[in-house]
Structure 1
Amino acid sequence: MFNIGDQVAVLDDNINGVVVGFQKEQIIVETTDGFTMTYFVNELVKINNSSKLEVFNSGQTLDAVLKEKELPKKRSFVKEKRSKKDDFVLEIDLHIEKLVPSKRGMSNYDILTLQTETAKRQIEFAMRNRIPRIVFIHGVGEGILKAELDFLLGRYDNIVFQDADYQKYGLGATEVYFKQNANR
């Protein structure tokens, strides 16, 4: 049924090749990629070189029909190259539940003081380590923590801050940018 040199296709896989030999009940096929593989007779189908046959009298050749069946190639989009430093944003969640295991026994003043001290420590850390951006997640609430945070950030000369990305954080976050000094 198969002869050496016949072009074949594997039935259950997208592999084509040429018959190069026989081994007991199996056929040795060299794939179009150059690999040698063995298959049983019932796994292969012979490909006729007369692929220019008219298909169903429609006027289309077999090649044209097969080309139509191919999946469209994915378009490639060139991503702009950015450094890893630009992608990194230090996110600090100032919600009290994230800062202490239990807020039992803490007054509102104690909670607010802990939150602002944490923010101050993180600002100093970012300045020491030259981190370009921080996002403080403070939540919406009554706006007391946000007001304290704005007051704290306003005391630094080399900081610019604004509301963080609404789509990612909603209204409850402030994004801080550090101006880097060249002579430092």
Structure 2
Amino acid sequence: MFKKGDRIRVIDDNQKGQILKIQADTIIVLNEFGFEEEFSPSELILDESFQVEKVEISPDDISTKKQKKLALSEVKEIDLHIGQLVDSFANMSNYEMLQIQMRKVEEEILLARTEGRSKLIFIHGHGSGKLKEEMMKLLTRFSGLEIYDASFRKYKLGATEVKVR
């Protein structure tokens, strides 16, 4: 079905790439950000609608400027669980914790724009949904963002992907 060089899209994720290798039931894909990832054939479909400019990237071929650009095009994960943001939250109200989490979201969006970063994943967990609800309200106030549920395969329903334009 698949062969080396095919352009593919990941079914449950917003990723595209080109097949580098096929090993038994594993397909090695060079994604659109220049990183290799492994998938099973059932996770992929052919997608001829885009062009991959370079299939193989070696560190010796990349200038420092390109390395920085690749680093910034990497997905940055931000864990919004309160225990990841503060040393102790024992005496905080739910409102105080939510305000800290919302400040973190806003700071990361502004930082991504300053750095030229293109994609963020905010990990909010499943919980009651209040954090995700408030985060969505905040994100819709920013222009130039595309907001999606992050990869179900990786995060289930506990994360939101934000593309910064």
Compute the TM-score of the two structures, normalised by the length of structure 2.
Answer: 0.59
Distance between the aligned counterparts of 1:79 and 1:141, measured in 2? 34
Q: Which residue is equivalent to 2:89?
A: 103
What residue identity is the alignment partner of 1:95?
A: H
SS of the equivalent of 2:100 reads helix
Pair 1:131-2:117 in alignment: yes
Distance between the aligned counterparts of 1:79 and 1:149, measured in 2? 32
Gaps of 5+ in 1: 1-75, 180-184
Q: Following TM superposition, by how much is the alpha carbon of 1:104 offset from its aligned partner in structure 2, in angstroms? A: 1.4
CA-based RMSD: 1.9
Distance between the aligned counterparts of 1:86 and 1:110, measured in 2? 31
Q: Following TM superposition, by how much is the alpha carbon of 1:170 offset from its aligned partner in structure 2, in angstroms? A: 1.1
Distance between the aligned counterparts of 2:124 and 2:132, measured in 1? 6
Gaps of 5+ in 2: 1-19, 22-27, 35-69
SS of the equivalent of 1:106 reads coil
Higher relative CO (Cα under 8 Å, sequence separation at least 6) belongs to 2
Q: Following TM superposition, by how much is the alpha carbon of 1:80 offset from its aligned partner in structure 2, in angstroms? A: 4.0
Q: Which residue is equivalent to 2:134?
A: 148
Q: Following TM superposition, by how much is the alpha carbon of 1:137 offset from its aligned partner in structure 2, in angstroms? A: 0.2
SS of the equivalent of 2:78 reads strand
Distance between the aligned counterparts of 2:82 and 2:124, measured in 1? 9
Distance between the aligned counterparts of 2:149 and 2:124, measured in 1? 11
More helix by share: 2
What residue identity is the alignment partner of 1:110?
A: E
Contact 2:72–2:115 under 8 Å retained in 1: no
Which structure's CA Rg is the greater one?
Answer: 1
> Which of 76, 91, 100 in structure 2 is aligned with 1:114?
100
